[in-house]
Structure 1
Amino acid sequence: MKQSLRKVLISGGRGLIGMRLSEMLIDAGYEVAHLSRQTSHGHYCSFRWDPATGQIDEGALRYADYVVNLAGASVSDEKWSEERKREILDSRVGGTNLLARELRERDHHVKAFISASAIGIYGDANGRLLDETTPPAPSDDFLATVATQWEQAAHHVQELGIRTVVTRIGIVLSDAGGALPQIARPVKLMAGAALGSGKQYMSWIHIDDLCRLLIQMMEDTDWQGTYNAVTPNPVTNKEFTTTLAEVLHRPLVLPKVPEFGLKLVMGEMSEIVLASQRVSAQKVLQQGFQFEYPELKQALEALYGEE
């Protein structure tokens, strides 16, 4: 049991990952507070901030032993207009820069800064195995640009001498939100199908494994630098859809959803489901992390086994 006086400040604490991480930290004996644009929510203490205007409660970082930086507008909630793209970028980079500024200018006792990024940094790489040394995709790839600038902002914290861990997160599997319920809905309605060619790789992680990984990164001083947060077993989109249908006990009756149809409906956002990213988990395994759900079927059964 961890001492209750160890305090974790989470930006993006109201999001899918932030809420589950908060629960698991409380269970482990930590105190948790959120950075929020609202004054209060639920049973978590919260400090106000507004990355768009550069404002933050002066007490926020004085509170924290650890900071977990997850804040960012969802990439999959709506079509990518120019305004939405700006919001996606600014919410990540602006928030991280604001935290870096506060850590530079105020007294604090923050031991570690754990900052989210995304495997979108690698772009569409077909079947190539991608690891942390793989360079980012070219700047015409929107998600790669966002992740690159997000990571550069986190490096400002590292330059202050604070132990900084950048976590490139894959597709997070949760039945409470994110990509999985959207993928599962047509399968449940017996209208499931592979997307595009179906050959594109999906690198994924069960939400509980991700939160356990974030906590280990926070607690263990050996973790430093950049890591992929994905399981060791990426699958193709066709394998993913087939396994999900099997777990949900539904047939797959439709042919593949063609790429042009997805682009028509989703616009540029279709690159989320059409890009192929076969991402290596070797570095986190070498660091000693053990996955509870390394295999896709096992992860999906843990989420949908009762259905």
Structure 2
Amino acid sequence: MRKNVLITGGTGFVGRHLTALLIAKGYSVSILTRNKKENTENVFYYIWDIEKQFIEDEAIQKADYIIHLAGENIAAKPWTKKRKEAILSSRALSAHLLYTSLQKSNSKIEAFVSASAVGIYGAINGRAICTEEMQPANDFLGLTCQKWEAAAQPFENLGIRTVKIRTGLVMGKGDGFLKKLLPVFKLRLGAALGSGTQYMPWVHIEDLCRIYLEAIKNPEMHGAYNAAITDNTTNQLFSVKLAKVCGYKIWLPNVPSFLIQFALGEMSKLLLKGRRVSNAKLQALGFQFDHKYLEATLKDCLSQ
């Protein structure tokens, strides 16, 4: 009998790819959604309502694992006070709903895997390589990720193996981080942002989904893991490589920081700040990245 993985955020970019991989590896998948959809042979849809703290009971009862991807997109809208509150509450309230539903049903799951982000180390520029043991930053990104990960702690307190995947910039075909950049670069109008020295820890969608698969399969995985390539990719280098893959050399000067700050306000830190991260903890488990080289990854993402 197929083991069942319950996914929140299952209809998003990562969720769709992860669902396909899990089914290919012999799992069935349950997806929590606000609107009922038609079930397929191996994918089951269940209603949940975070504000009303409601989940269909069967979704929890049949789950062997839970992968929690849901949360407001941190880069979708400017960081107004109301938007910040929504970003924070969406992660905490959704995890709380899963936890209380699990307690109420007396169901047992083998692992709880939560998305997080390398933003936990802060919107800061610097050459230090961040490991999972480093203290989180106290800026908005750092605090958001801290609360995200803290929402997973109650599952660990129940004795459930708990894993937190600190994700870098996700790249894939037709979606992810590249989706907004490609139209500009394909018009040969690409340029580095600000100083261009900010680091950009990235990961291919296929590797990220394999990390989530490893997190449910491998009983040795627990705690936080950086899910990003450990290299020296700066925004300048990334822009040069992307332009090259698009068939030209960058000819425009860097976009001034003040213009980006004017357009995006505090959210500009997502583009103008960045840190290197280490994936040594993940590799120590024997995990190997299939997509390790930036230019080859960009070519893969742009291929049909």
Aligned partner of 1:167 in structure 2 is 165
Structure 1 segment 121-132 matched on structure 2, within 5 A: 121-123=120-122, 124-132=124-132
12, 26, 29: which one pairs with 2:26? 29
Aligned partner of 2:16 in structure 1 is 19
1:51 and 1:222, CA in 2 relative to 1: closer, same or farther beyond 3 A? same
Alpha-carbon separation, structure 2, partners of 1:238 and 1:42: 45
Alpha-carbon separation, structure 2, partners of 1:258 and 1:244: 19
Alpha-carbon separation, structure 1, partners of 2:4 and 2:13: 20
Q: Measure how far apart 1:42 and its partner are.
A: 7.3
| Secondary structure at the counterpart of residue 235 of structure 1 | coil
Q: Measure how far apart 1:234 and its partner are.
A: 4.2
Q: Measure how far apart 1:63 and its partner are.
A: 1.3
Alpha-carbon separation, structure 1, partners of 2:263 and 2:286: 42
Q: Measure how far apart 1:105 and its partner are.
A: 2.7
The number of residue pairs the alignment matches comes to 301
| Secondary structure at the counterpart of residue 98 of structure 1 | helix
Alpha-carbon separation, structure 2, partners of 1:266 and 1:88: 16
Deviations 1:91-112 (A, max 9, x none): 1111111112222232213111
TM score, norm. by length of structure 2: 0.95
Alpha-carbon separation, structure 2, partners of 1:218 and 1:233: 27
| Secondary structure at the counterpart of residue 222 of structure 1 | coil
Query: What amino acid does structure 2 have at the position aligned with 1:73?
Result: E
Structure 1 segment 259-298 matched on structure 2, within 5 A: 259-298=257-296
**CA contact 1:8–1:30 (8 Å) conserved in 2:** yes
**CA contact 2:111–2:162 (8 Å) conserved in 1:** yes
Aligned partner of 1:71 in structure 2 is 70
Aligned partner of 2:118 in structure 1 is 119
Q: Measure how far apart 1:232 and its partner are.
A: 2.4
| Secondary structure at the counterpart of residue 212 of structure 2 | helix
Deviations 1:204-252 (A, max 9, x none): 1000000011101111101111110111224000011111111111331
Alpha-carbon separation, structure 1, partners of 2:186 and 2:199: 22
203, 215, 218: which one pairs with 2:216? 218
Structure 1 segment 141-160 matched on structure 2, within 5 A: 141-160=139-158
| Secondary structure at the counterpart of residue 202 of structure 1 | coil
Answer yes or no: is 1:177 the counterpart of 2:191. no
| Secondary structure at the counterpart of residue 196 of structure 1 | coil
Alpha-carbon separation, structure 2, partners of 1:193 and 1:15: 28
Q: Measure how far apart 1:75 and its partner are.
A: 1.3
Q: Measure how far apart 1:296 and its partner are.
A: 0.9
Deviations 1:229-283 (A, max 9, x none): 1112240000111111111113312100111100111111111111121111111
**CA contact 1:10–1:35 (8 Å) conserved in 2:** yes
Aligned partner of 1:251 in structure 2 is 249
**CA contact 1:104–1:160 (8 Å) conserved in 2:** no
Q: Measure how far apart 1:294 and its partner are.
A: 0.9
Alpha-carbon separation, structure 2, partners of 1:181 and 1:39: 28
| Secondary structure at the counterpart of residue 10 of structure 2 | coil
**CA contact 2:117–2:167 (8 Å) conserved in 1:** yes
- Give 5+ residue unaligned stretches, structure 2: none
Answer yes or no: is 1:109 the counterpart of 2:108. yes
**What percentage of aligned pairs have identical amino acids?**
38
Alpha-carbon separation, structure 2, partners of 1:232 and 1:128: 12
Aligned partner of 2:133 in structure 1 is 133
Alpha-carbon separation, structure 1, partners of 2:39 and 2:266: 35
Deviations 1:170-196 (A, max 9, x none): 100123322212122211111100011
**CA contact 1:103–1:157 (8 Å) conserved in 2:** no
Query: What amino acid does structure 2 have at the position aligned with 1:84?
Result: R
**CA contact 1:188–1:250 (8 Å) conserved in 2:** no
**CA contact 1:227–1:283 (8 Å) conserved in 2:** yes
Alpha-carbon separation, structure 2, partners of 1:236 and 1:229: 17
Alpha-carbon separation, structure 2, partners of 1:105 and 1:294: 43
**CA contact 1:187–1:250 (8 Å) conserved in 2:** no
Q: Measure how far apart 1:125 and its partner are.
A: 4.1
TM score, norm. by length of structure 1: 0.94
Answer yes or no: is 1:45 the counterpart of 2:44. yes
Q: Measure how far apart 1:41 and its partner are.
A: 5.8
Query: What amino acid does structure 2 have at the position aligned with 1:94?
Result: L
- Give 5+ residue unaligned stretches, structure 1: none
